[in-house]
Chain A
Amino acid sequence: MSKNEWPLWEIFIRGQHGLNHRHVGSLHAPDAEMAIRNARDVYTRRNEGVSIWVVPSNAITASSPSEKGPLFEPANSKVYRHPTFFDIPDVVGHM
């Protein structure tokens, strides 16, 4: 194995419609500039994007799968955060 393996980058692309950059995958490249060039070839061959972000994979801190419960379960019991929780009479009109 080459001791010189290119580092891994995570690739984020903003599509045509002005939405957020979205994670599309990863790739290897020697530096950020090459990562952008490679991402253009690997992830935008069919007009998938108008902007590319590249981030070194080792710069990403992720939540741990074992924390899933404590992190996300509290939201389950708070259905009143959704507008559909409230019954508003039709006569009031759109709200």
Chain B
Amino acid sequence: MYAQLVKSEGSKTREEMSPEEIAFQERIDRGERIEPKEWMPEGYRKTLIRQMGQHAHSEIVGQLPEGNWITRAPTLERKAILLAKVQDEAGHGLYLYSAAETLGISRDELLEQLHSGKMKYSSIFNYPTLTWADIGAVGWLVDGAAIMNQVPLQRTSYGPYARAMIRICKEESFHQRQGYDIMMKMASGTPEQKAMAQDALNRFWYPSLMMFGPSDKDSVHSAQSMAWKIKINTNDELRQKFVDQTVPQAEYLGLTIPDPNLKWNEEKGGHDFSEPDWSEFFAVIAGNGPCNEERLGARVKAWDDGAWFRDGLMAHAEKAASRRHAAE
């Protein structure tokens, strides 16, 4: 999940709701889409800005761990594929920023909140990509987990968000498949290559499980977001689905998921598995992951270093417009 720990605003009982709020909730319950200029509770708007902003930031920051390997990809074809994938992530960020802008916040304001640390991005991107196999593991597991979350969000109540998710999901499947393709190649390669693939799985398994956010019993913001249909499934539901989907994929690769407690539970029709270390999750969210400083530093530097260029293009556009104006 690219949005974790999104604080939800304004949880109210029906008795506390105004007539407008009741009518709004009824529209959502009927499955109607909410569109930008329509009335919405302030809490709905604010929660959505937080969630969509965090989602957009995750797409943008998510380019960094993969960008690390563009110049080091093992073949020209792999390099072209990785470039295309990273370019998609930039596109996904842009779709989501413009969807968020329909809620009355500008993209520059959102970026400013990312840069100041006020807004977060997914914890997963604070882990390093140490080997080429990590690029496989990121596509397979990280994009796989993201898809798990994003597919139901195509039915989310806010129209522009749902439409952005539809576009993103169409493209995201390529990401996961290219990752798995890298893993297949590595796992069927030399013993050293297979060991590298196993090592990547070992390091990315628990951080991928953390992407879905804390366990339902500790997830304080879920109920209101689910009533508003800006969250469709609980964190634990999606995590379970992800584990069940991934186990046979790892088996096919001949790799071992690093969890001694992982086993099929016939009764529940799913796997039992170990929870990730939640203290690590909260530490990474709080800014103390292995790469937090590097990631945010790279974003801020890119923004600051690009200022003269953005301003230059704007100055040129204004000058050209005034020249056209004078000629008319």
On A, residues with C-beta under 8 Å from B are 1-2, 4-6, 8, 25-28, 30-31, 34, 41-42, 45-46, 62, 64-65
Contact = CB atoms under 8 A, between A and B. Distances in A.
Contacts of B94: 27, 42
A6 B164 CA distance: 21
Contact of A2 (B87, B91, B164, B307): B307
B109 A1 contact: yes
A28 B107 contact: yes
Given A8-B101, A26-B98, A28-B107, 20 more contacts: A1-B108, A1-B109, A2-B108, A2-B310, A2-B311, A4-B314, A8-B98, A25-B164, A25-B167, A26-B101, A27-B94, A30-B310, A41-B91, A45-B84, A45-B88, A45-B171, A62-B37, A64-B37, A65-B35, A65-B39
B106 A30 contact: no
7 contacts: A2-B307, A26-B101, A27-B98, A28-B98, A31-B317, A31-B321, A45-B88
B106 A1 contact: yes
B17 interface: no
Given A8-B101, A65-B35, A65-B37, A34 B313 contact: yes
Interface of B: 35, 37-39, 84, 87-88, 91, 94-95, 98, 101, 106-109, 112, 163-164, 167, 171, 307, 310-311, 313-314, 316-317, 320-321
A31 B88 CA distance: 23
A1 B314 CA distance: 15
A42 B91 contact: yes
The majority secondary structure among interface residues of chain A is loop
A89 B295 CA distance: 71
B81 to A, nearest CB: 13
B113 to A, nearest CB: 10
A78 to B, nearest CB: 23
Contacts of B163: 25
Given A27-B94, A46-B171, A65-B38, A4 B320 contact: no
Contact of A5 (B39, B108, B171, B316): B108
